[in-house]
């Protein structure tokens, strides 16, 4: 490898460095290659990834080419923006060619009946028994999880729980403060702990979770195994409009690429959201219409049947 660039964008000539360390150079090249592949697979332009991660387009280009000696802090930002764990980017085993990844890909593209058969074989108890009367709403922010979850829970006689509120109770601070203090990795650990606690204390409930929970494989698999899941989906423009109507202007404030980012996030998570047992499209529906559709799905699928 020739010249390398540090995280400040400064070029470090070979003469100013110590003897070549092939292991380090291979690691840098491997990380760059995986960042590029992950970005391309998700259809995220480099400029959009730059906005999402706070890492400059120039440096991302250097990183992807294997010429950027990225710091752990910046790599974590890139991993978060790509909805990947940082270990996934640096592991020696190719995540796309591993047996586990191959099996996971087959499972994701299998039919609902095929996935049920696999789970019936692997699970120590029938899936219906493990899920009990728990229902979880997943989807992007602005999909209606809180509004519909609360109203459906009231009608069905189920307690309604928002996982972020459980995290805040556990941490003793607001979620944004958790993120600022502990970072994405710390938040994900608290999220997993909160989910386990909810499972242990509720046999029946209506749960709403943050949209990014699907990006943490272990936590999402636990969720799928212990809850009947419903993906609340909507058109990206409706997601954005609903969030703004709630008084949250952050998605658009000073960011001309906000809609492109939203589309990229949705594209990167769509295959994961599709693993839910059921879907309810809330686009163009009033709250009452969307609620009726959700209740209909719950009844038709027998989510509360024992």
In the prediction, which pLDDT does 95 show?
A: 58
Packed helices 72-81 and 57-64: angle between N→C axes, nearest 10 degrees = 100
Pair of tokens at residue 75: 């790599």
Cα 105 to Cα 47: distance, rounded to the nearest angstrom: 28
Cα 266 to Cα 65: distance, rounded to the nearest angstrom: 26
Cα 54 to Cα 49: distance, rounded to the nearest angstrom: 8
DSSP E strands, 73-116: none
φ, ψ of residue 23 in degrees (nearest 5): -65, -40
In the prediction, which pLDDT does 255 show?
A: 52
Q: What is the DSSP track for 154-173?
A: HHHT--EEEHHHHHHHHHTS
Q: How far is CA 179 from CA 173, 183, 185, 207, 261, in A?
A: 10, 4, 9, 21, 20
Cα 210 to Cα 195: distance, rounded to the nearest angstrom: 11
Question: For 153, what's the count of Cα atoms within 13 Å in the CB-facing half-sphere?
Answer: 20
Q: What is the DSSP track for 19-66?
A: S--HHHHHHHHHHHHHHHHHHHHHT--HHHHHHHHT--HHHHHHHHTT
In the prediction, which pLDDT does 84 show?
A: 73
Q: How far is CA 190 from CA 9, 102, 291, in A?
A: 34, 29, 30
Residue 109: count other Cβ atoms within 10 Å of its Cβ: 11
Q: What is the mean pLDDT of each run of 10 residues along the chain (306 residues)?
A: 49 50 77 84 81 83 79 79 75 63 68 74 65 93 92 96 94 90 88 93 95 90 94 87 68 59 85 93 93 96 84
* Residue (of 285, 278, 281) closest to 300 by Cα position: 278
In the block, tokens 């990795």 appear at 185
In the prediction, which pLDDT does 162 show?
A: 97
Residue 12, by phi and psi: left (phi above 0), alpha (psi -120 to 50) or beta? beta
């Amino acid at each position: 490898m020739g010249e390398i660039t540090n995280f400040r964008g400064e070029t470090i000539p070979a003469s100013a460095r110590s003897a070549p360390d092939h292991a380090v150079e291979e690691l840098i090249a491997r990380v760059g290659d995986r960042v590029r592949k992950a970005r391309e697979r998700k259809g995220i332009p480099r400029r959009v990834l730059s906005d999402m991660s706070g890492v400059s387009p120039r440096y991302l280009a250097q990183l992807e080419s294997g010429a950027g000696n990225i710091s752990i802090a910046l790599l974590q930002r890139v991993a978060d923006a790509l909805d990947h764990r940082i270990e996934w980017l640096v592991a020696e085993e190719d995540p796309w060619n591993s047996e586990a990844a191959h099996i996971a890909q087959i499972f994701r593209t299998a039919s609902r009946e095929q996935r049920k058969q696999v789970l019936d074989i692997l699970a120590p108890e029938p899936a219906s028994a493990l899920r009990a009367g728990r229902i979880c709403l997943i989807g992007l922010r602005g999909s209606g999880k809180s509004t519909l979850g609360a109203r459906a829970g009231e009608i069905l006689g189920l307690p309604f729980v928002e996982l972020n509120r459980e995290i805040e109770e556990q941490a003793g601070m607001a979620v944004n403060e958790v993120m600022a203090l502990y970072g994405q990795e710390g938040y994900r650990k608290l999220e997993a702990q909160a989910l386990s606690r909810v499972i242990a204390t509720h046999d029946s409930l209506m749960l709403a979770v943050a949209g990014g929970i699907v990006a943490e494989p272990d936590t999402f698999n636990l969720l799928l195994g212990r809850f009947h899941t419903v993906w609340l989906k909507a058109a990206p423009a409706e997601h954005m409009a609903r969030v703004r109507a709630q008084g949250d202007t952050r998605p658009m404030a000073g960011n001309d690429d906000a809609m492109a980012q939203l589309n990229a996030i949705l594209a990167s998570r769509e295959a994961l959201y599709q693993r839910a047992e059921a879907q309810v499209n809330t686009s163009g529906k009033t709250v009452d219409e969307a609620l009726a559709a959700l209740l209909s799905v719950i009844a038709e699928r027998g989510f509360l049947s024992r």
